[in-house]
Amino acid sequence: MGGLIIRPLEAGDHVRWLPLWEGYNAFYGRTGVSALPGEVTQTTWARFMDPAEPVQALVAQHGDELLGLAHYLYHRSTTAIGPTCYMQDLFTADAARGKGVGRALIERVYEDAKAAGAGRVYWQTHETNRTAMLLYDAVAKRSEFLIYSKRL
């Protein structure tokens, strides 16, 4: 997609970022009774704006429109000296799907992670997210590990 810019999220982006964030959460069924509390969204946004936080955010911009987001963080690992990068959220607006926005966001996360000394980038997706997995299979190796979790 010509003219696409991948850049860090800025304070003035909140109004344009919020519909992407809401779209991402709706995609994963976090709406209605299951919706994230507003406090979570506010705290997440505040973390992006705080340079002391390990959480990072990128957006894909075309003209004045934001078309996608990628949120990632660095953490320590018991199997590496340098940090590991976990891409927690990746979302592209419906109108921009299939136009290289997701791939461009992933590639930028790779660049940023490499610059930060990370030896690995990883992420999760739902097993039904087949369309996204076509892209993921092209840009990364699928892990053989399964994820277990428990809400506390």
43 SS3 class: helix
Looking at the predicted structure, is the pLDDT value of residue 1 above 80?
no
Q: Are 55 and 83 in contact (CB under 8 A)?
A: no
Distance CA 81, CA 34 (A): 38
88 Rama sector, left if φ>0, alpha if ψ -120 to 50, beta otherwise: alpha
Looking at the predicted structure, is the pLDDT value of residue 48 above 80?
yes
What are the tens digits of pLDDT across the range 78-114?
999 999 999 999 999 999 999 999 999 999 999 999 9
Token couple for 57:
């955010």
DSSP 146: -
pTM, full prediction: 0.93
